[in-house]
């Protein structure tokens, strides 16, 4: 369960790294949210991990209705993004499993890959919907990272992360004011 959840979380953020269209971004958000919720389940409990999943679902729905149309997964010129997603995943895997130790290796891998790839995606894009999608996934990863702080775990970071991620996807996109 933990391994599968961590892999799904990475796959989700990988899709977000590769996609420009609203369907691709929504699918990536949904996958990442389900993955991070699954990997948080043993530490955070069902309520908190359900909050992450619901937050991701709402964010995914918000992305479905706003943003560039279509899937646009791996458009022309996206080789650097492909390399980024794979290399970032491998690096996160190495750091999460080999460099660091202790329980929760899957959670560490999922959180490191989501934090780093979401930040990289936000830095490399000028598109509002893309940056907001990365923003939402970053919020979910920050919430899930609370599980690494050791007991006692309360549900507030998970709930707050879900709220921020869900709300960010519905932010209206305006064009900047000229002069």
Partner 1 sequence: MLPEALELVVLAAAALVLALAFAPVPTSRRGLIAKGGAGLAGTAAVAAVPTFDLALLVLLALAVLHATIEGKRTLASRLRAPVFAVALLALGALFARVQGPDVVHRFAAVGLAAGLAAAIGLMPYLHPFDPEERIMSSPIAWLAYIGPAVAAVMVADAHGLLNADTSAAFAATLIGLGLLNMAWGSIAAWLTENGGAAWRYSFIADWGLALSGFGVAVTDGRRAALLIFFTILLGRLPLYFASRGEVRGRVATERPINLLVAAALAGSAPFAGFAARVLLLRGATQLFWPLALVLAAGMLLWLPSSLRLGRSLGVPRGRQAVGVALVLAINVAVGLYPLPLLAAARL
Residue numbers of the site for partner 1 (CB under 8 A)?
99-102, 108, 111-112, 115-116, 118-119, 122-123, 125-128, 130-132, 134-135, 138-139, 141-143, 145-146, 148-150, 156-157, 160-161, 164, 167-168, 171-174, 176-179
Question: Of 67, 43, 50, 46, which is closest to residue 162 (Cα–Cα)?
Answer: 50
Residues 6+ apart with CB under 8 A from 90: none
In this structure, which long-range contacts are made by residues 90-94, counting pairs with CB atoms below 8 Å and at least 24 apart in sequence?
Answer: 91/116, 92/10, 92/116
Closer to partner 1 at the Cβ: 31 or 169?
169
Cβ atoms of residues 6 and 111 within 8 Å: no
Q: Min. distance of Cβ 52 from partner 1 in angstroms?
A: 12
CA distance 28 to 30: 5
In the complex with partner 1, the residue whose CB is nearer, 76 or 174, is 174
Q: How far is the CB of 3 from partner 1 (least distance, A)?
A: 18
CB 115 within 8 A of CB 92: no
Taking the complex as a whole, how short is the minimal distance between the CB of residue 69 and partner 1, in angstroms?
A: 18
Between 47 and 149, name the residue whose CB sits nearer to partner 1: 149
Q: Which of residues 78 and 125 has its CB atom nearest to partner 1 in the complex?
A: 125
């Amino acid at each position: 369960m933990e391994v599968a959840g961590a892999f799904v979380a990475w796959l989700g953020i990988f899709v977000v790294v590769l996609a420009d269209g609203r369907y691709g971004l929504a699918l990536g958000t949904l996958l990442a949210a389900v993955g991070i919720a699954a990997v948080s389940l043993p530490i955070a409990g069902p309520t908190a991990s359900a909050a992450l999943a619901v937050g991701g679902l709402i964010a995914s729905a918000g992305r479905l209705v706003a943003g560039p149309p279509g899937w646009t997964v791996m458009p022309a010129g996206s080789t650097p993004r492909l390399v980024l997603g794979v290399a970032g995943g491998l690096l996160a895997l190495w750091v999460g499993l080999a460099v660091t130790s202790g329980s929760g290796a899957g959670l560490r891998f999922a959180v490191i890959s989501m934090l780093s790839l979401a930040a990289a995606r936000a830095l490399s894009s000028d598109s509002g919907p893309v940056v907001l999608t990365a923003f939402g996934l970053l919020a979910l990863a920050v919430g899930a990272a609370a599980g690494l702080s050791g007991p006692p775990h309360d549900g507030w970071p998970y709930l707050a992360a879900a709220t921020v991620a869900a709300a960010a996807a519905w932010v209206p996109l305006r064009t900047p004011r000229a002069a």
